[in-house]
């Protein structure tokens, strides 16, 4: 199908949705809708996409033929992981509507556990992490004090913070000094709950 082939070609050419959109002169949101199968390109746009990737337009929409059109050795050097726009309790990491892009990690890193990317929102982790940057996260339920963790509070959107645990509870600290730390008592940790879902292992800044 066109949406699967488009995503495969983009990822194997190591392009983000935004970069592809800029290259071919259409909106990033349109690329996203194409890849989610929510919209189909007209003939002219399909031709532009096929020309950009140097593939036959007829084959672009045929899932069974696209494999033979891609010859990019670098595409097999690592493992592609999904980049998520948000994380909520109970939402699978591979939920199609939640995937906004892909990043590549080494096979060695992939062997250490399940990974996903997460887009930074807001400025609470500046200057190290800026809004729009992508952090690579290894899924795990515990982290050491002082490590940067992805934490779910009350099942809402994940927050990225420095993590500290003591007998008095859990403290989540921003690197931006204008933000006060969040503190949760042991009762709040259990009742809200406060849940570590991963450790940030890499930052990929976006310019």
Count: domains in the chain: 2
Tens of pLDDT, residue by residue over 65-115, are 444 444 444 444 678 888 888 776 666 665 555 778 888 888 889 899 999
Q: Please identify every residue annotated as catalytic.
A: 124, 161
pTM over 0.95: no
Strand order in the sheet with 99-106: 99-106, 78-84, 115-119, 134-139, 194-204, 148-153, 159-166, 169-173, 182-184
- Structural tokens at position 95: 């939920």
152 three-class SS: strand
Tens of pLDDT, residue by residue over 165-199, are 999 999 999 999 999 999 999 999 999 999 999 99
> 103 and 23 in one domain?
no
Residue 193 sits in a domain of what CATH number? 2.10.109.10
> 10 and 31 in one domain?
yes
- Residue ending a domain, choose from 55, 74, 93: 74
- Cα angle for residues 108, 112, 115 (degrees, 5° grid): 100
Domain of 56, in residue numbers: 2-74
**Angstrom distance (rounded) from CA 134 to CA 118:** 5
> 54 and 113 in one domain?
no
């Amino acid at each position: 199908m066109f949406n699967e082939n488009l995503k495969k070609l983009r990822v194997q050419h190591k392009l983000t949705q935004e970069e592809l959109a800029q290259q071919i002169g259409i909106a990033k949101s349109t690329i996203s809708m194409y890849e989610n199968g929510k919209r189909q390109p007209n003939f002219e746009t399909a031709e532009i996409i096929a020309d950009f990737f140097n593939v036959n337009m007829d084959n672009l929409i045929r899932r069974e033929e696209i494999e033979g059109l891609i010859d990019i050795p670098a595409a097999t050097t690592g493992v592609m992981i999904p980049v998520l726009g948000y994380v909520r309790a109970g939402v699978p990491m591979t939920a199609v509507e939640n995937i906004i892009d892909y990043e590549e990690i080494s096979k060695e890193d992939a062997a250490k556990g399940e990974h996903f990317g997460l887009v930074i929102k807001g400025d609470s982790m500046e200057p190290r992490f800026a809004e729009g940057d992508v952090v690579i996260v290894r899924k795990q339920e515990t982290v050491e004090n002082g490590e940067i963790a992805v934490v779910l509070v009350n099942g809402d959107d994940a927050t990225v913070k420095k993590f500290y645990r003591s007998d008095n509870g859990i403290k989540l600290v921003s690197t931006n000094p204008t933000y006060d730390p969040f503190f949760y008592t042991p009762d709040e940790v259990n009742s809200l709950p406060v849940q570590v879902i991963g450790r940030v292992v890499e930052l990929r800044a976006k310019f």
